[in-house]
């Protein structure tokens, strides 16, 4: 017997250490829906997660996957071609012990009896994986329990889990995503630190750490109860073009460029004090690097695409959306695999290939948007749209 059971407790005449059984009538039988609500497994698994320096855990089970199957059509055909392994008699298939989207397939033989088979794997030998998987997948699409019910109804699937079970699964997902998000942010901070040290060239010491910050609220004005604040590290590129005057100055050659008077003398005297104030060293030092908040705005759009502002949701759902947005924004969809591991879900080949292909397409799209052809196309579209707006304004008078 474990020593922990009696740690700090001594038996005496006044206090018995014997375990007394509760009355049978007061015991509560295990609820079939409570099996889906084991948060201890998720929390313990999340603590064991470790991300590699360069990539996430990517164990793939090529034999794993789900299919939509018409039960009667498939198993009626199987019963006509399959016999019992032991007695060589005919077998029949039926469905039993239905729990939401999961059920047991009963293989019945007249001589050998019934043999139940789980239709999906079990998490921690208790909860059915399909329930956690569909809730997590639907949350990525910003679909809650009502959306899952509607999807199952129109696909002619059984009724899914109840609201209480759904809430517990969402809580487990929040635990897993929070853990992976923390590891992801620590990794990003270390990378930004190393890049800043390399950029500053200060003998391996970190002298500056530049970030951009921004906040976003679910609703406008002061009526919003939920908001997010982000800090994103910044590493600038190098300047690749100068004007002719700066080029001559750097090369030590006499300047061949002559500046023309840009404005009238009276105008110059009027705006000179304002110019000197705005061009002070204190103000200009804040503009070094040309930092912007574009990355923060991009991140905000990712968050609200997972949890749209027009759809009502609570803090837990927003936490999950923010965690997933951080993970995918930093490292792509393939970085979601540790969440599957924390939840006890299997990563199959279909999921693995989709995430890697999406990350590759994301990089290609980003590179294409920076090309000269794409920039010229965007300028042309913008110019055409503005010209059309002017024409419409002129027609309307």
Mean pLDDT across 48-66? 61
| H or E element at residue 102 | strand 102-109
CB atoms inside a 10 Å sphere around CB 246: 13
Is residue 254 over pLDDT 80? no
Is residue 20 over pLDDT 70? no
pLDDT tens-place string over residues 114-156: 888 887 877 877 788 888 888 988 888 888 888 888 888 888 8
Residue 342, both tokens: 């924390």
Instruction: Find out whether 25 and 154 touch, Cβ atoms under 8 Å.
Output: no
Instruction: Find out whether 161 and 36 touch, Cβ atoms under 8 Å.
Output: yes
pLDDT tens-place string over residues 83-96: 888 888 888 888 87
Beta bridge partners of 232: 212
Half-sphere exposure of 302 (CA within 13 A, CB side): 20
pLDDT given for residue 224 in this prediction: 66
The mean of the pLDDT values for the chain is 73
pLDDT given for residue 251 in this prediction: 56
How far is the C-alpha of 220 from the C-alpha of 139, rounded, in Å?
Answer: 24
Q: Which residue in 356, 363, 210 sits closest to 292, CA to CA?
A: 210
Helix or strand or coil: residue 131?
helix
How far is the C-alpha of 324 from the C-alpha of 336, rounded, in Å?
Answer: 8
Residue 204, both tokens: 């391996």
pLDDT given for residue 360 in this prediction: 82
List, edge to edge, every strand of the sheet that includes 91-99: 91-99, 102-109, 113-118
Is residue 338 over pLDDT 70? yes
Mean pLDDT across 28-42? 52
pLDDT tens-place string over residues 158-212: 888 888 888 888 888 888 888 888 888 888 778 777 777 776 666 656 556 666 6
More confident residue, 58 or 240: 58
- Start-to-end Cα distance in the chain: 91
Q: How far is CA 307 from the centre of its chain?
A: 11
pLDDT given for residue 10 in this prediction: 45
Instruction: Find out whether 255 and 245 touch, Cβ atoms under 8 Å.
Output: yes
From the number of C-beta atoms within 10 Å of its C-beta (0-12, 13-18, 19+), residue 112 rates as: middle
Largest CA distance in the chain: 109
From the number of C-beta atoms within 10 Å of its C-beta (0-12, 13-18, 19+), residue 108 rates as: middle
pLDDT tens-place string over residues 255-313: 565 666 667 788 888 888 888 887 777 776 666 655 566 677 777 788 888 887 777 77
pLDDT band at 244 (very low <50, low <70, confident <90, very high): low
CB atoms inside a 10 Å sphere around CB 227: 11
Mean pLDDT across 393-397? 76
Q: Is the pTM of this model over 0.85?
A: no
To 5 degrees, how large is the angle CA 275–CA 277–CA 279? 65
Q: Which residue in 133, 167, 173 sits closest to 327, CA to CA?
A: 173
Q: Give 228-252 as a 3 state SS string.
A: EEEEEECCCCCCCCCCHHHHHHHHC
């Amino acid at each position: 017997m474990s020593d922990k059971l009696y740690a700090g407790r001594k038996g005496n005449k006044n206090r018995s250490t014997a375990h007394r059984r509760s009355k049978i009538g007061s015991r509560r039988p295990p609820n079939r829906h409570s099996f889906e609500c084991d948060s201890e497994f998720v929390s313990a698994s999340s603590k064991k997660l470790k991300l590699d320096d360069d990539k996430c855990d990517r164990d793939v089970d090529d034999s794993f996957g789900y299919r939509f199957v018409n039960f009667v059509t498939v198993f009626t055909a199987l019963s006509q071609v399959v016999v019992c392994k032991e007695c060589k008699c005919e077998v029949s298939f039926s469905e039993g012990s239905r729990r939401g989207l999961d059920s047991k397939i009963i293989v019945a033989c007249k001589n050998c009896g019934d043999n139940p088979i789980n239709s999906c794997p079990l998490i921690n030998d208790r909860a059915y994986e399909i329930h956690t998987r569909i809730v997590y997948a639907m949350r990525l699409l910003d679909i809650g329990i009502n959306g899952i019910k509607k999807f199952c109804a129109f696909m002619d699937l059984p009724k899914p889990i109840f609201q209480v079970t759904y809430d517990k699964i969402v809580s487990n997902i929040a635990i897993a995503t929070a853990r992976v998000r923390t590891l992801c942010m620590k990794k990003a901070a270390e990378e930004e630190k190393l890049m800043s040290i390399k950029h500053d060239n200060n003998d391996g010491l970190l002298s500056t750490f530049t970030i951009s910050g921004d906040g976003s609220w679910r609703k406008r004005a002061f009526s919003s109860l939920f908001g997010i604040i982000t800090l994103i590290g910044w590493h600038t590129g190098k300047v690749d073009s100068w004007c002719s005057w700066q080029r001559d100055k750097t090369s030590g050659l006499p300047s061949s460029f002559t500046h023309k008077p840009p404005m009238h003398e009276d105008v110059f005297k009027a705006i000179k004090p304002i110019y000197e104030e705005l061009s002070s060293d204190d103000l200009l030092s804040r503009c070094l690097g040309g930092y912007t908040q574009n990355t923060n705005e991009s991140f905000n759009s990712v968050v609200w695409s997972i949890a749209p502002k027009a759809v009502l949701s609570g803090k837990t759902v927003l936490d999950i959306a923010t965690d997933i947005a951080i993970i995918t924004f930093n490292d792509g969809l393939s970085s979601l695999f540790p969440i599957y591991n924390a939840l006890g879900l299997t990563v199959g080949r279909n999921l693995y290939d989709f995430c890697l292909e999406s990350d590759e397409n994301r990089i290609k799209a980003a590179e294409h948007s920076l090309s000269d052809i794409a920039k010229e196309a965007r300028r042309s579209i913008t110019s055409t749209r503005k010209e059309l707006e002017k024409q419409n304004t002129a027609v309307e008078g």
